[in-house]
Amino acid sequence: MENLQMLFMGFSVVLTLENVLVTMLGAVLGLIVGAMPGIGSLAGVALLLPLTYKFNPTTAIIMLGSLYYANMYGGSFSAILLNIPGDSPAVMTALDGYPMATKRNRPGQALFTANMSSFIGGLIGMLILTFMGPLLADLGLKFGPAEMTALLLVAMTSIGWLVGESPTKGVVLTMVGILLASMGMDTLTGSPRYDFGNMYLLGGIPFTPFVIGAVGFSQVLKLMEERNKKVEAHIGQKLTIRGSMLTLHDFRRLLPPAIRSGFMGTFVGVLPGAGATTGAFLGYAAQKAFKSEEPLGSGAIEGIASCEAANNAAAAGSFAPLLALGIPGSGTGAVLLGGLMMWGLNPGPLLFSTNPDFAWGLIASLFLANLLTLVIALGIIPFLVKILTVPVKMLIPIITVVCVVGGYSTSNSMYGVIIMFLSGLFGYILDRNGYGVAPMLLAFVLAPLLESNMRKAFIISHGSLGIFFEKPIAAFLIIVLFAIILTPVIKFVLRKAGVLKK
């Protein structure tokens, strides 16, 4: 309960006029940056960092925090409206968000769902952070290479659920994704791998242009078929907030996934190396195990809710190791850490004792940012939905330009544009032939984590498999893994033997 008291003190720090205004500013900027494909939260936070120099440290940190946080909200906008994820966690949001907006003709509701789920997920994450922050961080520490390998193997099995109708094709692409991700600098040996002598490939294939191309630009190519379709007059579709609101039934549908993902996402955010993207993915994959009213991938509310809640929760969760231990969970966290240190505030084991007003002020500001961003995001829904009424013929050049610019901005070079272009062609051809690119993208993100953790585990164990069974957490997860893999096999055998009914 002492934590609650500290939290209230934190609120008193935050709720000054200046700080509230700054939080709002950070939220708006974060939303915009987050929505733009090509500028992910890392670049966004780093580029906006200088803006915060003008303010005193506490205010600056508050702005930075709300900026980072609002980024997570913004990514879903372009994912839902244009099928171009604004940042990597939003890849999952696009899977259900875009169909819901277009095929089911409920764009306002899709955005509303995303925002509400983000809010709920973030709220859960922050509450957990408040009461259990340091504890959670310590728990995260227990997840070393062996444990992460086991966990990620479990996660990889759930990619299987994403493959849709043709498992063969889905798994083929998963493998391709893994191989593509292995190109570049191999951290563990410090040597390049599969770079084919090309200097650019030394750095591997950058994820953001890859996603923009495979999902966004291939989408443009597909859209060419629809350009002559008349834009149906949306009679009766009120482009107001009223018209975008969710029914009570919708709301009931989004709550369970959002809450589940909130808890799960927070925990994922605490884990070393796993960030919002992993969180969103696991949230979505976990949803497959539960009932959704409409099938996932067709525009189901549960789909949007599960991944949006998870990615915001993971963002909140990643503050736990950052504040309690001074360990940034991701590149963005590292930038935040750098910013904090520049103001002489050193996150870490000593932070809560030496600078309590700052630490709790930051946490309180996250709550405030969560609320403010929700309000702002909901408010601009009607405006955003108007984007969908733009005729397809116009959209095509617009999105093309955005893809090119986004591809360029990641690394400020034409390399990004080339990757975007090639993955666009690649994605389009694959899509035409019934290969969905989602498994490939997710494998691209998860596989390097899995591989590096596995290799580290083997270095620690000096080449023996024993480490996976000696460490309790890892052993537990391996058992879960076998359970997941063997269950369908056992079921199959039992059915054939007549023991189980079909």
Partner 1 sequence: MRKIALVLTMALLVSVAVFAGAQAEAQAGGAFTPSKNIDWYVTSSPGGGSDIFTRTIMDIAVAKDLLNGQNVVVQYKTDGAGEVGRLLVSQLKAGVQADHTLLTFNSGDLMPMVKNTNNRFENFQPIAHMAVDKHLIFVGEMSKYKSFEEVLAALKRGERMVLGGSKGDDIACHAALIAELGVSQDQLSYIAHDATSGAITAILGGHFDLLISKPAAASQYVEAGKITPILALSTSRFPGNLNSAPTLSEFGYKNVEVPNWRSIVAPKTMSAEAVAYWTDVFKKVSETEEWNKGYIEKQKLVPDYMDAATFTAYGMNFQKEYLASIGKDK
Partner 2 sequence: MQTKKITSKMVIPVVTAVIAALFIYLGITKYGFWHEVRGPLPGFFPTIIGFALLALSLLAFLGGRKEEETKYPIENWYPALGVIGIMLATLVIGMLPSLALFVILWLKVYEKYNWKTTLVGLVIIMAIVIGAFVMWLGVPFPKGLIYNLIAY
- Interface residues toward partner 2, by CB under 8 A: 32-33, 36, 39, 43, 47, 166, 168-169, 171-172, 175-176, 178-179, 182, 186, 188-189, 191, 193-194, 217, 220-222, 224-225, 227, 393-394, 396-398, 400-405, 408-409, 412, 414, 417-418, 421, 424-425, 428-430, 432-435, 447, 451, 454-455, 457-459, 461-463
Which residue, 46 or 127, has its beta carbon nearer to partner 1? 46
Q: Is 306 exposed, middle or buried (0-12, 13-18, 19+ CB in 10 A)?
A: buried
Interaction of residue 462 with partner 1, rule CB under 8 A = yes
Q: Cβ–Cβ contacts within 10 Å for residue 65, how many? A: 27
CA dihedral 360, 362, 364, 368 (to 10 degrees): 170
Which residue, 180 or 254, has its beta carbon nearer to partner 2? 180
The CB-of-112 to partner 2 minimum distance in angstroms stands at 24
Interaction of residue 348 with partner 1, rule CB under 8 A = yes
Question: Residues 456, 480, 484, 485: which binds partner 1 (CB under 8 A)?
Answer: 456
Side-chain half-sphere of 122: how many Cα atoms within 13 Å?
Answer: 29
> How many residues touch partner 1 (CB under 8 A)?
53
Interaction of residue 144 with partner 1, rule CB under 8 A = yes
Partner from partner 1, partner 2, none contacting 335, C-beta within 5 to 8 A by type:
partner 1
Site for partner 1 in 244-273 (CB under 8 A): 272-273
Which residue, 39 or 327, has its beta carbon nearer to partner 2? 39
Interaction of residue 54 with partner 1, rule CB under 8 A = no
Residues 454 and 199: their CA atoms lie apart, in Å, by: 27
CA-based nearest residue to 366, from 17, 19, 33, 1 = 19
Copy the structure tokens of residue 98.
């875009």
Which residue, 144 or 297, has its beta carbon nearer to partner 1? 144
Contact 154, 286 (CB under 8 A): no
Distances, alpha carbon 499 to alpha carbons 287, 484, 491, 494, in Å: 29, 20, 9, 5
Site for partner 1 in 23-42 (CB under 8 A): 42
Contact 66, 19 (CB under 8 A): no
Q: Cβ–Cβ contacts within 10 Å for residue 225, how many? A: 9
Side-chain half-sphere of 118: how many Cα atoms within 13 Å?
Answer: 32
Cross-strand partners of 31 = none
Partner from partner 2, partner 1, none contacting 400, C-beta within 5 to 8 A by type:
partner 2
The CB-of-311 to partner 2 minimum distance in angstroms stands at 22
The CB-of-455 to partner 1 minimum distance in angstroms stands at 8
Q: Cβ–Cβ contacts within 10 Å for residue 147, how many? A: 24
Task: List residues near partner 1 by CB under 8 A.
Answer: 42-43, 45-47, 49, 140-146, 184-185, 187-192, 199-203, 272-273, 321, 325-328, 331, 334-335, 338-339, 341-342, 344, 346, 348-350, 411-413, 415, 456, 459-460, 462
